Amino acid sequence: MRLIINGEAQTIAAATLSQLLAALDYEGDWLATAVNGELVHREDRHDHALDDNDRIEILTPMQGG
């Protein structure tokens, strides 16, 4: 499936948002995710189906000062 992830086109075999995160090695409870501009809560990622050309944003906390 062709997806736009954080602004970059990628082809990844993932049917749901949680499968996509696992395929990309994202883990932890501190992620923020959105699909096509709509926030997807952590508890909804397992059931959130992805479609070709969906735009996915994955935000992780950054450390710094």
Identify the CATH number of the domain in which residue 9 sits: 3.10.20.30
pLDDT of residue 65: 58
pLDDT of residue 22: 95
Q: Which of 28, 9, 7, 17 is nearest to 51 (CA)?
A: 17
64 found inside a domain = no
* Structure tokens belonging to residue 2: 């062709």
Structural domain span for residue 6 = 2-59
pLDDT of residue 29: 74
- Structure confidence by residue, pLDDT tens digits, 10-65: 999 999 999 999 999 988 778 999 999 999 999 999 999 999 999 999 998 776 65
pLDDT of residue 33: 96
* Structure tokens belonging to residue 9: 């086109």
- Looking at the structure of the chain, the number of domains it has is 1
pLDDT of residue 52: 97
User: Distance (Å, rounded) from C-alpha 47 to C-alpha 64?
Assistant: 34
44 found inside a domain = yes
pLDDT of residue 63: 65
